[in-house]
């Protein structure tokens, strides 16, 4: 009988030959440091005897092991339960969900908010529920945005990265088409781009959107909790009334799991009824919702954000002083290497020195832009930052980059 299955062994071999195969490396805890195990495959993981400093996580505020956040999750587990048990439209809606969404809406300056089981689900569900005719998307937008665009019947127009002039020209060209007057338009952009550390020019994008009557959706996954009053770039620039859809995640600075969308009452009602990734998914686990609520409260009412930005400034200054090319304008510090082998060698050199900061290679980033993505946490102390810088210096010299 003819085999109509899949040659997965060949796929894995091809990934290994191209040095693009990625593996899982378990760690004992999610924090600024931990003990890692080499990829175990089907065997039990064996943790290393050496503790490593983590400079690659999205746990920007370091709140995953904060006692207050953990206590909030424990209390929700004891009071509400470990899981939602059903779609929120059936029996899975709880007071914990409502509390989280009220706090998110307050922080984001919107009428309401809605939590999803992941940021991926929030993006895909929102874009498909809106059913736009045309989507204008930044060329470096996250994969969940790209997939949301693919799952609609919309025509997707890609504009140059963080380039409001390019966006405006695409909008103008589309406006000249015969069907434009009857079309619904959606502009979608990340605010902070996870692999480049760049920040979208949101004020200029708002101006372009308003000129052409388009709606704007901003993905604040890597910004939520880090800017003004625990909000994102939208809040830092005072654009709450000009951005129709604010999306974000609970799994990065807010130290939990899940995603959210904030906007008008009508938007949330539409998503509750039409976002398939919300309707047909079990609700966000109550402990995750409670943890995110507490983390957001801490982000808003403590000095944790200031500690993060101090570490970012210290690390960026040190890396640039050595001669490294550091991209971006945010808490994400991509150290541009260029050559793939050099980037892998630098990452290996860092790992030998107990610094976890993996190489980022194509297809995640464009060819010739291989890099080390560095992300300090608020909970790294000054000795940790110095240790990281010393490791970069020694490894960079060994590889011949300095």
Please report the DSSP string for 102-144 in residue order.
HHHHHHHTSSEEEEES-HHHHHHHHHHHH--SEEEEETT--HH
A 10 A CB-CB count for 279 gives 16
Residue 143, C-beta contacts closer than 8 angstroms, at least 6 positions apart: 120
Q: 397: number of CA atoms within 13 Å, CB side? A: 6
Specify which residues 311 forms β-bridges with: none
CB 188 within 8 A of CB 138: yes
CB 377 within 8 A of CB 59: yes
CA-to-CA separations, 395 to 118, 241, 296, 323, 401, in angstroms, rounded:
36, 47, 37, 13, 9
Catalytic residue set: 194, 222, 252
CB 35 within 8 A of CB 52: yes
């Amino acid at each position: 009988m003819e085999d109509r299955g899949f040659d997965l062994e060949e796929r894995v071999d091809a990934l290994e030959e191209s040095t693009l195969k990625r593996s899982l490396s378990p760690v004992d805890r999610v924090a600024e440091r931990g003990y890692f195990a080499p990829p175990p495959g089907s065997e039990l993981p064996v943790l290393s005897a050496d503790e490593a400093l983590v400079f690659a996580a999205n746990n920007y505020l370091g709140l995953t092991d904060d006692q207050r956040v953990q206590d909030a999750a424990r209390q929700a587990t004891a009071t509400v339960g470990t899981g939602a048990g059903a779609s929120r439209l059936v029996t899975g809606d709880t007071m914990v969900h409502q509390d989280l969404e009220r706090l998110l809406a307050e922080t984001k300056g919107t009428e309401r908010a809605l939590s999803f089981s992941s940021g991926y689900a929030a993006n895909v569900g929102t874009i498909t529920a809106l059913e736009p005719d045309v989507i204008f998307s930044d060329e470096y937008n996250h994969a969940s945005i790209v997939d949301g665009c693919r799952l609609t019947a919309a025509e997707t127009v890609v504009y140059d990265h963080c380039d409001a002039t390019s966006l405006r020209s695409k909008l103008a060209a589309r406006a000249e088409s015969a069907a434009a007057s009857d079309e619904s338009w959606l502009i979608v952009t990340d605010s902070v781009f996870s692999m480049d550390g760049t920040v979208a020019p949101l004020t200029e994008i708002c101006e372009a959107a308003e000129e052409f009557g388009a709606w704007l959706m901003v993905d604040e996954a890597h910004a939520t909790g880090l800017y003004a009053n625990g909000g994102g770039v939208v809040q830092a620039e005072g654009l709450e009334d000009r951005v129709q859809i604010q999306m974000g995640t609970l799994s990065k600075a807010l130290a939990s799991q899940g995603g959210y969308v904030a906007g008008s009452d009508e938007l949330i009602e539409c998503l509750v009824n039409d976002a398939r990734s919300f309707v047909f998914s079990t609700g966000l686990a109550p402990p995750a919702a409670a943890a995110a609520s507490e983390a957001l409260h801490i982000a808003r009412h403590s000095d944790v954000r200031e500690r993060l930005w101090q570490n970012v400034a210290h690390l960026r200054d040190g890396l640039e002083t050595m001669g490294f090319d550091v991209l971006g304008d945010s808490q994400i510090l991509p150290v541009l290497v260029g050559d793939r082998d050099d980037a892998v060698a630098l990452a290996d050199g860092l790992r030998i020195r107990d610094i976890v900061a993996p190489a980022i290679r194509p297809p995640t980033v464009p060819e010739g832009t291989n890099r080390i993505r560095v992300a300090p946490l608020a909970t790294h102390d000054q000795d940790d930052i110095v240790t990281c810088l010393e490791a970069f210096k020694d490894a960079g010299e060994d590889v011949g980059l300095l």
